[in-house]
């Protein structure tokens, strides 16, 4: 490390190459997943690289390296623990059906409810929703077809979406 600090790139390359198997073994004592071990080793190597100027050549290199490695290993374990605490197991997931016909009845009911709700909107909002959302026209096409501006269509659509959201929330609270 002392040679690497003076700019000897070959010494630095050899150092990193020589410490990598040791770091891998050190990480494997605490981590079981091979991918997590490699991630931790890379994290330690990056840390060694970024703090290499803090190494004091008058002191032993081993304890300096182990201190860095242990901190990175513990940090990785904590990080993975936080991530795992927010994840759910795939085995507990809901079963879905790939067949197109599996949810057709529910989709038909939902589509009918949405169309009925759109029919209750004021004329400008209803036309904007029909053209932009149901017929999937572009803003420019809908503006040309309705004789209104793009900005007016955007406003009408925004207001319609807000009103529909309120309508469905009221329906949900009634049932």
Q: Identify the band that residue 115 occupies on the pLDDT scale cut at 50, 70 and 90.
A: confident
**What percent of the chain has pLDDT above 70?**
83
What's residue 85's pLDDT? Answer: 67
Taking the alpha carbons at both ends of the chain, their separation in whole angstroms is: 71
CA distance 170 to 4: 70
Mean pLDDT of the chain: 86
CA distance 16 to 45: 7
CA distance 89 to 112: 35
Phi, psi dihedral angles at 80 (to 5 degrees): -65, -35
Q: Which of 11-20, 40-49, 88-97 shows the lowest per-residue confidence on average (mean pLDDT)? A: 88-97
Could you tell me the two tokens for 98? 């790939």
What's residue 105's pLDDT? Answer: 67
Could you tell me the two tokens for 143? 């503006």
> Above 70 in pLDDT, residue 18?
yes
Angle at 69 (CA atoms; ends 63, 47), nearest 5 degrees: 110
Rg (CA), the chain: 31
What's residue 37's pLDDT? Answer: 93
> Above 90 in pLDDT, residue 23?
yes
CATH number of 100-174: 1.10.10.10
| Residue entry with tokens 């513990």 | 74
Whose CA is closest to 48, among 29, 65, 36?
Answer: 65
> Above 60 in pLDDT, residue 93?
no
- 107-115's contacts with Cβ under 8 Å and 24+ in sequence apart are 114/164
Domain over 2-89 is classified CATH 1.10.1740.10: yes
Residues 25-50 have a mean pLDDT of 92
Residues of the chain with CATH 1.10.10.10: 100-174
Q: Which residues, including other chains, have CB under 8 Å from residue 102's CB and lie 6 or more apart?
A: none
Q: Identify the band that residue 96 occupies on the pLDDT scale cut at 50, 70 and 90.
A: low
> Above 90 in pLDDT, residue 65?
yes
Helix (H, G, I), strand (E, B) or coil at 97: coil
Whose CA is closest to 155, among 119, 129, 118, 116?
Answer: 129
**What percent of the chain has pLDDT above 90?**
53
What's residue 92's pLDDT? Answer: 53
Question: Which 8-state DSSP code applies to residue 94?
Answer: P
Q: Which of 16-30, 97-111, 132-146 shows the lowest per-residue confidence on average (mean pLDDT)? A: 97-111
For the entire predicted model, the pTM comes to: 0.48
């Amino acid at each position: 490390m002392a040679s690497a600090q003076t700019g000897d790139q070959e010494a630095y390359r050899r150092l990193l190459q020589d410490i990598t198997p040791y770091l891998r073994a050190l990480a494997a004592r605490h981590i079981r997943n091979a991918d997590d071990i490699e991630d931790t080793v890379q994290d330690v190597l990056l840390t060694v690289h970024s703090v290499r100027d803090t190494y004091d050549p008058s002191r032993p290199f081993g304890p300096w390296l182990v201190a860095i490695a242990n901190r990175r290993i513990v940090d990785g374990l904590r990080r993975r623990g936080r991530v795992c605490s927010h994840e759910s197991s795939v085995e507990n997931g809901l079963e879905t059906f790939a067949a197109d016909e599996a949810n057709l009845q529910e989709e038909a009911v939902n589509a009918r409810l949405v169309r009925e709700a759109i029919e209750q909107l004021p004329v400008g909002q209803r036309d904007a929703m029909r053209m932009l959302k149901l017929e999937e026209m572009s803003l420019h096409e809908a503006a040309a077809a309705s004789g209104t501006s793009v900005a007016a269509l955007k406003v009408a659509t925004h207001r319609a979406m807000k009103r529909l959201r309120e309508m469905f929330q009221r329906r949900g609270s009634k049932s």
